[in-house]
Amino acid sequence: MFQQASWEASEDRRSRIWTFPEAATNSPREEKPVSSHEHKQRMRSFYAQEAAERDDEQWLRAGGSPRVPESRASHYFLDRKVEMALKLTNAPRAGRVLEVGCSFGHQTFLLANHFAHVTAVDLSPESINLARRRAVAWNVTNVAFEVGDAEALSALVDASFDAVFSFSTVRFCPRPDVTMREMYRVLRPGGGVAIDFPNANCPWYGPIKKAAGVETHIHDRLFQDHEVRALFAQAGFTNVDVRPMLFTSKRVPDSLLPAFRILDAVGERMPGLRGYAGILMAGGTRRVER
């Protein structure tokens, strides 16, 4: 895996700004519902600003490796999610895989270490342009970054990928059920999908986050285990496996990261505690028709 970068990134804001009428958000704050179209327009505008803040040669070459420069805790957080996703999909190294909702390539460049070819799509043209430029700057040639809507992957052929990955994306989609069906469609029969969801039972998303002074994710959606399983079943996936993981936040100071690693190692194995982890990493398989 790529070496850890030393660059300290600004706070990850990707989960702050949107709401959608089709699904309830888990927030104490009220926000006027918006249409799916307006929801996506806000997403594009937000990421255009995010990309503009990083649009310079220093950022493109920062970090000592292709992966997006972030804090040590952020890299640990992303590494753990990718590692679990790889276990859940068990896709061949020679395979072609898809990442839905790639942003600037936070997980994409990690996936590129494991597969012959990665197609990565995102709703934001500016994010895709920035990710492409970073790939060029680091000579990463086995990734294709494309603009695409998670709810309408019309440019992608049916049953064309050995595995599908999606990180911190389905939670923001106006229609998670539609997104799941699209991922099922482009996955080959027998192929695996891995998707992360914020765990509604995790206290971080409520009192702890508030006490820490971290801005509430007013437009985010949190999920219970049974809701995740229902989404997978409705899309047609079989062999559904939901694993609670990560008590570590991306905002943990470097000095506390070793202690939080121990907390993760212990907490994720304790039946009475693991249900309160921050992330539900879920996997499933596209049915093989007989």
Q: What pLDDT, in 10s, does the model give residues 119-152?
A: 999 999 999 999 999 999 999 999 999 999 999 9
For 28-87, the DSSP string reads SS------HHHHHHHHHHHHHHHHHHT-SHHHHHTTSSSSPP--HHHHHHHHHHHHHHHH
User: What's the average model confidence in pLDDT over 152-157?
Assistant: 96
The tens digit of pLDDT for each residue in 162-215 reads: 999 999 999 989 899 999 999 999 999 999 999 999 999 998 887 776 776 666
Q: Per the structure block, which two tokens stand in for 23? A: 């699904």
pTM of the model: 0.87
d(CA 112, CA 141): 9
Task: Show the domains of the chain with their CATH numbers.
Answer: 36-285 (3.40.50.150)
User: What's the average model confidence in pLDDT over 244-269?
Assistant: 95
Arithmetic mean of pLDDT over the chain: 87
The tens digit of pLDDT for each residue in 144-153 reads: 999 999 999 9
> What's the start-to-end Cα distance of the chain, in Å?
38
d(CA 160, CA 153): 12
